[in-house]
Amino acid sequence: MKKPLQITVNGEIRQFFAEPYCSLLDALRDELLLTGTKKGCDEGDCGACTVLLNGQAVTSCLVLAHSAHDSQVTTVEGLADHQKLHPVQQAFVDHGGLQCGFCTPGLIMSAVGLLQENPNPTEEEVRFAIGGNLCRCTGYNKVVEAILAAAQAMQNKLKA
Amino acid sequence: MPRFEYLEPHTLRQAVSMLQQHGSHARIVAGSTDFLVRWRTGVWKPQYVVNLQHVPGLDRLSYSPRNGLRLGALVRVRALETSPVVRQRYPALAAAAASFAGVQVRNLATVGGNVCNASPAGDTLPSLLAFDAQCRIVGPQGERWLPLEQFFLGPGRTALQPAEILAELRLPPPLPNTGSLYIKHSPRGAMDISYVGVASVVSLQDRGRVCRDAKIALGAVAPTPIRAASAEAMLRGQTITPELLKRVAAEAQRLARPIDDVRATGAYRKDIVAVLTQRTLERAIEMARGAEMPFEVQRRLAVQAAF
Ligand SMILES: Cc1cc2nc3c(=O)[nH]c(=O)nc-3n(C[C@H](O)[C@H](O)[C@H](O)COP(=O)(O)OP(=O)(O)OC[C@H]3O[C@@H](n4cnc5c(N)ncnc54)[C@H](O)[C@@H]3O)c2cc1C
Ligand code: FES
Ligand code: FES
């Protein structure tokens, strides 16, 4: 039977019902209709379902929705400031960091999680941070370029 | 998919009584990374899931020079990777954590879940064994302590009795002049299960010439992670020489009883045990002699990928 829960998603308190066995991923997609977060494998392997849970990147397919009761979740939908893309999103566009785009929300959330903890990562640190995200199109180089460029842009903005 | 009811205890005592009430129909979850995969594939079919994540204090990590490292069962693998005190005093454990899955899984997976899941290939297990971890177990009869070495009974099988919960792990403080490292050999550099994992902890004396104590633990080469006791004994009290390390590595290889599976043949795994034992010992000795080994370097060493 569905039970009530409350999660702050992208800054907004959302109260809804979910089955006891519903994952955070299914709750986001099917109950809250936030379909930006993708389901690639439902086994924790592909990273397409990455969101920030209390500020940390997690595979939302491995989280029970009820376990996230009263927590803070950020999905890819929560990054842009109205029409203005988040610097990581903008960098993916500018540097060709995506092709089919299926892995992109997950990669972007991993990158945002990384840059929150480490605003000035080396290339090796970027590759380490996206080790849990599979992309079958780009070959990763342009993804890494985009994340490094985003880090640079965010640093410049801080200095300005 | 069979469905389950979700239960959320707020104390360990409450969790134990939920487990008592529902017996074999209940299963504990911590980070739920093993659980949700096994549930979706139909391997585990509990009617009740007892989520430990909201029991306060179970995710505490603390260190004191007297008592060593205390790890609540709910401490995340990511915390082991990033904790300054773990990196400094228990480098083999931080390296094991860094070799584990990807960031997103490490942010969920708990050390207690890794231990209780009792996979022979569990990445934190060789390091925990090599640091002589002790388990604090809470159950219907109260509390008991058990050396981690006696905790593993077989793949997925542990010494936990019905309604018992692993509450905490304690790692004694390392001796002075100690170094340690974990190396995992796996198909890919990220997100893969190890073919073999080896953790070595070495303490030196007499200005770094003589081995005071050594611990070596092997993962994925027997039904449980194991200590290579006879290999360790060859090092204790001895002057360290390259020949000695070779013989110790050969002894560790002899102790390994790996299986053939889709990842690697047993014979290949045995060869790798010798290589990784020697490498982890050499690096641990360098560290024990005071060589600077930044975490980035340890992390690079920690995963030796085949592809
Ligand atoms: C994509 C992916 C990659 C992975 N990569 C790795 C890897 O590289 N290395 C590795 O070692 N593992 C890996 N794993 C396995 C898994 O993440 C680890 O075993 C993890 O540590 C399990 O912890 P958890 O908190 O998620 O456990 P859960 O899934 O919550 O529980 C696991 C088992 O332990 C029991 N349990 C948990 N906590 C307790 C407790 N305190 N007392 C008693 N019983 C308890 C549960 O009942 C269950 O049987 C991976 C898993 C996935 C999905
Ligand atoms: S859908 Fe969650 S990791 Fe693939
Ligand atoms: S862009 Fe297609 S999978 Fe990454």
pLDDT confidence tier of residue B262, bands split at 50, 70 and 90: confident
Choices 3.30.465.10, 1.10.260.40, 3.40.50.740, 3.40.718.10: CATH for B61-171? 3.30.465.10
**Hey, what are A143's tokens?**
């993804």
Closest CA to B32 of B81, B71, B93, B74: B74
pLDDT tens readout for residues B167-202: 999 999 999 999 999 999 988 888 888 899 999 999
Question: Is the Cβ pair B104, A19 closer than 8 Å?
Answer: no
Cβ neighbourhood burial of A102 (10 Å; 0-12, 13-18, 19+) = middle
Cα–Cα distance measured from residue A114 to residue A119, given in angstroms and rounded to the nearest whole number: 7
Q: Which residues are CB-contacts of B306 (< 8 A; sequence separation ≥ 6)?
A: B185, B186, B187, B188, B195
Ligand 1 centroid – CA A104 distance (Å): 27
Cα–Cα distance measured from residue B189 to residue B181, given in angstroms and rounded to the nearest whole number: 17
Residue among A20, A42, A128 minimizing CB distance to B5: A20
Q: Which residues of chain B lie closer than 8 angstroms to A123, CB-CB?
A: none
Q: Which residue's CA lies nearest to atom 4 of ligand 3?
A: A135
Q: Which residues of chain A lie closer than 8 angstroms to B191, CB-CB?
A: 45, 131-132
In words, the CATH class of domain B178-305 is alpha beta
**pTM of this prediction?**
0.97
Q: Order across the sheet with A56-59: list the strands.
A: A12-18, A3-9, A72-74, A50-53, A56-59
- For B8, name the nearest residue in chain A, comparing CA atoms only: A67
In sequence order, what DSSP letters do the residues of A91-121 get, joined into one string? HHHHTT--SS-SSHHHHHHHHHHHHHH-SS-
Q: Which atom of ligand 1 is nearest to the CA of B34?
A: 29
**Average confidence (pLDDT) over A75-87:** 96
For chain A, first and last CA: distance in Å? 53
pLDDT at B306: 78
- Report the sign of the C-alpha dihedral through residues B87, B93, B99, B103, in that order: negative
Amino acid identity at B216: I
pLDDT tens readout for residues B114-141: 999 999 999 999 999 999 999 999 999 9
Ligand 2 mutation target, pool A23, A29, A30, A42, most atoms within 8 A of CB: A42
Question: Is the Cβ pair B6, A63 closer than 8 Å?
Answer: no
Ligand 1 in contact with B9 (CB < 6 A)?
no
CATH 3.30.390.50 placement within chain B: 178-305
**Hey, what are B140's tokens?**
């219907």
Q: Residue B38 above 70 pLDDT?
A: yes
Q: Would strands B26-29 and B48-51 be described as parallel, antiparallel, or unpaired?
A: parallel
pLDDT confidence tier of residue A149, bands split at 50, 70 and 90: very high
pLDDT confidence tier of residue B1, bands split at 50, 70 and 90: low
All structural domains of chain A = 3-78 (3.10.20.30), 87-159 (1.10.150.120)
Cα–Cα distance measured from residue B83 to residue B62, given in angstroms and rounded to the nearest whole number: 10
Q: Which residue's CA lies nearest to atom 3 of ligand 3?
A: A135
Phi, then psi, of B283 in degrees rounded to 5: -70, -40
SS3 state of residue A148: helix
**B5-51 in CATH: which number?**
3.30.43.10
Q: How large is the ipTM?
A: 0.98
